[in-house]
Amino acid sequence: MQELQIGQITKAWAESHQFATRYSKQVTSTNDLAKKNAFTDDDLENEFALYLTDEQTKGRGRFDRTWSMPKPGSALISSWSFQIMQPAKPTLTALAGLALYNSAQMTWPFLNWSLKAPNDLYINNNKVAGLLLETISQGSEHRLIIGLGLNVLASPEDIETSTSLLENLSSQTPLLGEDWILFLERLFFEFSLLVPSADQDLTTTQMESLLVALNKYPGLEKDYTSHSELKAELWR
């Protein structure tokens, strides 16, 4: 039986919405590819473009940290490229993490989700996803690129503290195709909400929501208790 390929499944979802979809079986980095194509005619005529791959050979996280790959095809390796009006503020990284957290929490509410500042997604004590946000500009044109790596069917074997979505689902709650599509719908909606306010400060409601998600992280030595304390962490 042919193994599931998360990139191909997600490609089919994106194409069903007629999104500009760029899929390759292997790339060096989806973010690098999205940046390279950001101001080509193909991407300029689309407010949104989705880059997908089964395998990333030079993936990276924040501060150019190396991103470890699980088995090819087992993870959502993607870059979500949005046209924005102004360059994004650094705090958008935390809001993208909150968008990912909300989407996962709403789809699989029985799992113990949390955020590790500013944007790593955890199930219990183990990391399941990470984000890398980059803004690229050319004249008056700007694009926000949200790189997302989410371990779905497997996790990297060389990282003991990593996990996958499938590892945390029981036989009574299998990973269903309709759940994955529902998650993608929610994630696109949540990410799209970030675009109009990419250059704005965090609202009180957003700060409160971040406090809840971040304080659920089991490895946190001390809870965040104030907005000023949280801002200091997010601006580090």
The answer to whether residue 1 scores a pLDDT higher than 50 is no
> Closest by alpha carbon to 32, among 142, 132, 138?
132
The answer to whether residue 234 scores a pLDDT higher than 80 is no
pTM for this prediction: 0.93
Task: Determine contact, residues 56/77, Cβ cutoff 8 Å.
Answer: yes
> Which DSSP letter does residue 61 get?
-
The answer to whether residue 95 scores a pLDDT higher than 60 is yes
Q: Which CATH number fits domain 6-234: 3.40.220.10, 4.10.1240.10, 3.30.930.10, 1.10.10.60?
A: 3.30.930.10
Confidence of residue 60 (pLDDT cuts 50, 70, 90): low
Mean predicted lDDT score pLDDT of the chain? 90
The answer to whether residue 78 scores a pLDDT higher than 90 is yes
Q: How many beta carbons lie within 10 A of that of residue 192, not counting itself?
A: 14
Q: Which residue's structure tokens are 């004249």? A: 139
Rounded to an integer, the average pLDDT of 172-180 is 85
If 0-12 CB within 10 Å is exposed, 13-18 middle and 19+ buried, where does residue 34 land?
A: buried
The pLDDT tens digits of the residues spanning 11-58 come to: 999 999 999 999 999 999 999 999 999 999 888 899 999 999 999 886
